[in-house]
Structure 1
């Protein structure tokens, strides 16, 4: 199966970073997700109950990162991937976690991971 559900450019305001000043302010993280999902059933039924609920996934991403307050993007990505796979039964996902403005010369820095089997 090569079907996917996508969420791109999801903004999350949370505490993130290793420096003391970063632990005292919210900063923006951007999340991109590609999640393996069999879209044939909702494609045939046209019923939202058969689909991966991207609103619920998005809300879970926000809640997870806000509760976690990661120091490292790598930690945030790993914890988030595990949480999403467990909560929604997602067999495979590709997750990109970006931190805009972390390096002045770059638009953003980040990490990309893939977890599970397609």
Structure 2
């Protein structure tokens, strides 16, 4: 059985104790708060999704799509995952360890502003 904690519901999952001693991620804005509130959770602050055993956590809504694609690839292989990604018109299939702040997105920010 897989258990998933998507960004907005991660606090509720952590409150159950299921994340104690495990790695988890959440949206970058909430990572420090999660780490303070649940010190037994090993918060991966910059990953878009994390798998620790049968528990998966995701940093946000679009990161959840990348997590779903990882599940498809685990179960059905890379060819099926890529076919689905094309069907969903996804820009790219991202691994869980990729940074939450997209390099492509940051390249679009004008030099005189901050993201």
Q: TM-score, normalised to structure 1's length? A: 0.25
Q: TM-score, normalised to structure 2's length? A: 0.26
Structure ranking higher in strand proportion: 1
